[in-house]
């Protein structure tokens, strides 16, 4: 089978590794890919938003399956475009990708179908938003409606902060068109868990739970980032929580999307918060999480190509999705200064230490190959170092050991990924 994977981050490296493991994988291409993906796939220099060039490449090379798991192209309709060209695509169509592309849409969906989430109001006029804020208690959460690279959420401790946030999002358009509409919602407290599911329009197959660490600094301080590390499974995702989510959230969401005439196919990401009143949805994404994927897929035992085929064909109920009874921890190695400003182009050494080691993975997020074949840093998040272990504690110790094998100038990481696990002994 010939496969084209669209994207080039740590998530795509983890997906490429899972695909390459399948005995059904013949030739694997990745557009645009990165220096790590290039070791297991043929990288093609086409951008993820160039649907025309991607389709032409896929048709010319007789690609059997295109895989896309990135929000921008999915929300812009890459799946619809390629399907019209006769290609077979794993991913979410535009009319269902709106579950991530518009927070107002997803909040209204949850309200209509009784899916638990934070109470909210939607605004298109900044003055109305400001008037509403006068009646609110704080903290409160402001969210730009559209895609904003994970940065469109502001948690505001006072009226003044919130008013400044409304100005940033709606008047100054800091996140562009994403801020033409805004959700203002109740601040919730509790532990967060990410649960990813394969969905075929009707059925869903849940993957093992994971937890992300979004803040840049140790002890959850500093700015929100794309994610500084993850672990899977989450010991806080208990059987009781799982039961509640199955009853109130998962199938209900898939059924709601079908009822709206927007059948959801692909990967549905449930960002959940375990509140005192039970689990609630913080957000939906229409794709694999990053860096959740770097701890979830290395634990998956089922052939990913069989699962993707079943999603496209609507036969997911015949798949028994299996995960190893182990644990994984991923520590992100970033460039000092991320997520604000940072230098790129630093030489990375020590990558060969991972060769031939089964329990260790070094997923490339922002890297490129230099003129002399050396691997260079090429982004804020550079590498995701994942280790498997019998327990989370073992995986955590191994991931930090492996994080030390790699060096580059301005290397930065958090030192407390998975530390919360110590609370539970
Ligand atoms: P989102 O992009 O919607 O996932 O939001 C980013 C992060 O902001 C989440 O992972 C939470 O940590 C936080 N957040 C979002 N909505 C809320 C809320 N209603 N209450 C508390 N924290 C929130
Ligand atoms: N790790 C959060 C996300 O992928 O959106």
CA-214 nearest atom, ligand 2: 1
For residue 9, give the ligand nearest its CA: 2
Which tens digit of pLDDT belongs to each residue from 343-384?
A: 999 999 999 999 999 999 999 999 999 999 999 999 999 999
Count of helix runs (H) and strand runs (E) in the chain:
13, 23
- Sequence length of the chain is 425
Confidence of residue 424 (pLDDT cuts 50, 70, 90): low
Res 224: pLDDT = 85
Which tens digit of pLDDT belongs to each residue from 285-298?
A: 999 999 999 999 99
CB distance 193 to 245 below 8 Å = no
Burial of 159 (0-12, 13-18, 19+ CB in 10 A): middle
For the entire predicted model, the pTM comes to 0.97
Give nearest CA residue, ligand 1 atom 8: 153
Cα first-last separation, the chain: 46
CA-291 nearest atom, ligand 2: 1
Q: Is the peptide bond before 18 cis (omega within 30 degrees of 0)?
A: no
Task: Tell me how far apart the alpha carbons of residues 273 and 143 are, in angstroms, rounded to a whole number.
Answer: 17
* pLDDT at position 404 over 70: yes
Pocket probe mutation, ligand 1, options 119, 142, 283, 286, max atoms within 8 Å of Cβ: 283
Please tell me the distance between residue 292's alpha carbon and the centre of ligand 2 in angstroms: 7
Which tens digit of pLDDT belongs to each residue from 120-178?
A: 999 999 999 999 999 999 999 999 999 987 778 999 999 999 999 999 999 999 999 99
- The set of protein residues with a Cβ atom below 6 angstroms from ligand 1 is 118, 141, 150, 153, 155, 185-188, 192, 214, 271, 282-283
């Amino acid at each position: 089978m010939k496969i084209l994977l669209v994207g080039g981050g740590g998530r795509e490296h983890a997906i490429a590794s899972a695909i390459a493991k399948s005995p059904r994988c013949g030739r694997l291409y990745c557009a645009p890919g990165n220096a790590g993906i290039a070791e297991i796939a043929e990288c093609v220099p086409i951008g993820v938003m160039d649907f025309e060039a991607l389709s032409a490449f896929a048709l010319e090379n007789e690609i059997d399956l295109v895989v896309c798991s990135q929000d921008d192209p999915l929300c812009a309709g890459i799946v619809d475009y390629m399907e019209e060209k006769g290609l077979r695509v794993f991913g979410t169509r535009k009319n269902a990708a709106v579950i991530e592309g518009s927070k107002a849409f997803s909040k209204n969906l949850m309200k209509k179908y009784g899916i638990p989430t934070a109470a909210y109001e939607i605004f298109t006029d900044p003055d109305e938003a400001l008037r509403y804020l006068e009646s609110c208690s704080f903290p409160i959460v402001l969210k730009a409606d559209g895609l904003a690279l994970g940065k469109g959420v502001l948690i505001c401790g006072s009226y003044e902060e919130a008013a400044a946030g409304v100005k940033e999002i709606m008047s100054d358009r800091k996140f562009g068109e994403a801020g033409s509409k805004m959700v203002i919602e109740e601040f919730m407290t509790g532990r967060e868990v990410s649960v990813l599911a394969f969905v075929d329009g009707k059925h869903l197959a849940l993957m093992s739970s994971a937890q992300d660490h979004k803040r840049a600094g140790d002890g959850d301080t500093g700015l929100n980032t794309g994610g500084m590390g993850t672990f899977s499974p989450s010991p806080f995702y208990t059987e009781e929580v799982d039961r509640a989510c199955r009853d109130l959230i998962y199938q209900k969401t898939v059924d709601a999307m079908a009822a709206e005439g927007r059948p959801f196919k692909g990967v549905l990401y449930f960002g959940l918060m375990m509140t005192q009143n039970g689990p609630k949805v913080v957000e939906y994404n229409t794709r694999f999480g990053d860096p959740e994927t770097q701890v979830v897929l290395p634990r998956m035992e089922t052939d990913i190509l069989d699962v993707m085929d079943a999603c496209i064909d609507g036969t997911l109920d015949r798949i028994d999705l299996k995960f190893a009874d182990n644990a994984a921890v991923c520590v992100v190695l970033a460039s000092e200064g991320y997520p604000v400003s940072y230098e790129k182009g630093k030489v990375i050494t020590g990558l060969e230490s991972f060769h031939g080691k089964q329990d260790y993975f070094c997923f490339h997020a922002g890297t490129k190959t230099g003129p002399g074949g050396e691997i260079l840093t090429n982004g804020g998040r550079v590498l995701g170092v994942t280790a498997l272990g019998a327990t989370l504690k073992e995986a955590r110790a191994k991931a930090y050991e492996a994080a030390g094998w790699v060096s580059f100038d301005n290397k930065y990481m958090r030192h407390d990924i998975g530390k919360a696990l110590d609370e539970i002994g």
